[in-house]
């Protein structure tokens, strides 16, 4: 069956834009971010979820979001979308429920790549994970996407950086992108010092792909993120 080239195959569940803190909104608009449509050479259908925000997804994950998220997945499937992702890696917590709600693939988080990457590396190689908030990334999140205790990981969080340390939604302050990048690369250095046997890095946070090249160069390691995963899934659909 022929499809229009401009008909999206990938759908993305997103936060309500009005609730995104100003600093994170700036990151979300950078080229290379999964929420910037120009990041992909193919169209993506973005589906905002009412009530989805920093507090309900990251800080205090709310099971109440499951109903509107499942409904959104089912709407997207009816529209002809053939795979669904999300704009925040912390949705890993809902991987099983969302995947079971439709008849198409659902990949909630770039963390799904961790077990895959582990199988590609020597068994003694650690996988580095960079997350927006280490304090909020629990064992339940990891296990929901197949990261069990047998997989050696080392997690670094960005909760103290200038982009993630304040959650003022209405702040008009412009984010210092270069300053944030420096903090991010400093985090990479610390991660490598903590786990010198690291074999790859997976970026949990969907705001980090714009900096993936710099991270790969600084670490001299392969870097995986939600953009690499989305492109991979898209290729499987065509």
Residue 152 burial (C-beta neighbours within 10 Å; 0-12, 13-18, 19+): middle
pLDDT digits (tens, 9 = 90+) for 147-197: 999 999 999 999 999 888 865 544 556 889 999 999 999 999 999 999 999
Region 89-94: mean pLDDT is: 96
Residue keyed to tokens 């790859």: 200
For residues 131-136, give the mean pLDDT: 95
Q: List the one residue out of 166, 164, 158 whose CA is nearest residue 185.
A: 158
Question: Token match 């990334």: residue?
Answer: 137
Let me know if the fold of 10-109+228-237 is the same as that of 111-224: yes
pLDDT tens digits, one per residue of 63-79: 889 999 999 999 999 99
Q: Which residue ranges make up each domain of the chain? A: 10-109+228-237, 111-224
What whole-number distance in Å separates Cα of residue 205 and Cα of residue 131? 5
User: What is the pLDDT, as a whole number, of residue 100?
Assistant: 98
- Note the pLDDT of residue 87: 96
Find out whether 147 and 153 touch, Cβ atoms under 8 Å: yes
What CA–CA distances, in Å, run from 184 to 203, 208, 209, 218? 11, 9, 12, 11
Fold of 10-109+228-237: Rossmann fold (3.40.50)
- In what helix (H) or strand (E) does residue 106 lie, and over which residues does it extend? strand 106-107
Residue 90 confidence (pLDDT): 96
Distance CA 236, CA 238 (A): 6
Question: Using 50, 70 and 90 to split pLDDT, how confident is the model at 2?
Answer: very low
Residue 228 phi, psi (nearest 5): -60, -40
What is residue 172's predicted lDDT score, i.e. its pLDDT?
A: 55
What mean pLDDT value characterizes the chain? Answer: 93
- What local confidence, expressed as pLDDT, does residue 170 receive? 45
Region 82-105 average pLDDT:
97
Q: For residues 44-53, give the mean pLDDT.
A: 94
Give the C-alpha separation, 98 to 100, whole Å. Answer: 5
- Would you state the pLDDT for residue 57? 93
The confidence score (pLDDT) of residue 169 equals 44
**CATH class entry, domain 111-224:** alpha beta
Q: Percentage of the chain with pLDDT > 90? A: 82
> Is residue 208 scored above 60 in pLDDT?
yes
User: What pTM value is reported for the model?
Assistant: 0.93
């Amino acid at each position: 069956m022929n499809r229009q080239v401009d008909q999206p195959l990938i759908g993305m569940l997103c936060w309500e834009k009005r609730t995104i803190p100003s600093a994170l909104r700036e990151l979300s608009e950078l080229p290379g971010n999964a929420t910037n449509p120009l990041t992909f050479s193919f169209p993506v259908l973005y589906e905002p979820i009412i009530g989805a925000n920093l507090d309900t997804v990251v800080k205090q994950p709310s099971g109440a979001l499951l109903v509107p998220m499942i409904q959104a997945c089912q709407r997207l499937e009816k529209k002809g979308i053939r795979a669904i992702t999300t704009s925040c890696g912390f949705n890993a917590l809902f991987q099983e429920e969302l995947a079971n709600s439709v008849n198409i693939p659902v990949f909630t988080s770039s963390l799904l790549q961790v077990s895959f990457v582990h199988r590609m590396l020597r068994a003694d190689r650690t996988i580095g994970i960079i997350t927006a908030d280490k304090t909020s990334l629990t064992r339940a999140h990891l296990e929901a996407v197949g990261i069990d205790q047998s997989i050696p990981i080392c997690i670094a969080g960005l909760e103290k950086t200038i982009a993630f340390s304040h959650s003022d939604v209405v702040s008009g302050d412009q984010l210092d992108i270069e300053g944030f990048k420096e903090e991010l690369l400093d985090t990479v250095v610390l991660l490598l010092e903590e786990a010198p046997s690291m074999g790859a890095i997976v970026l949990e946070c969907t705001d980090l792909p714009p900096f993936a090249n710099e991270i790969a160069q600084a670490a001299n390691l392969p870097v995986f993120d939600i953009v690499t995963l989305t492109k991979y899934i898209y290729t499987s659909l065509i």
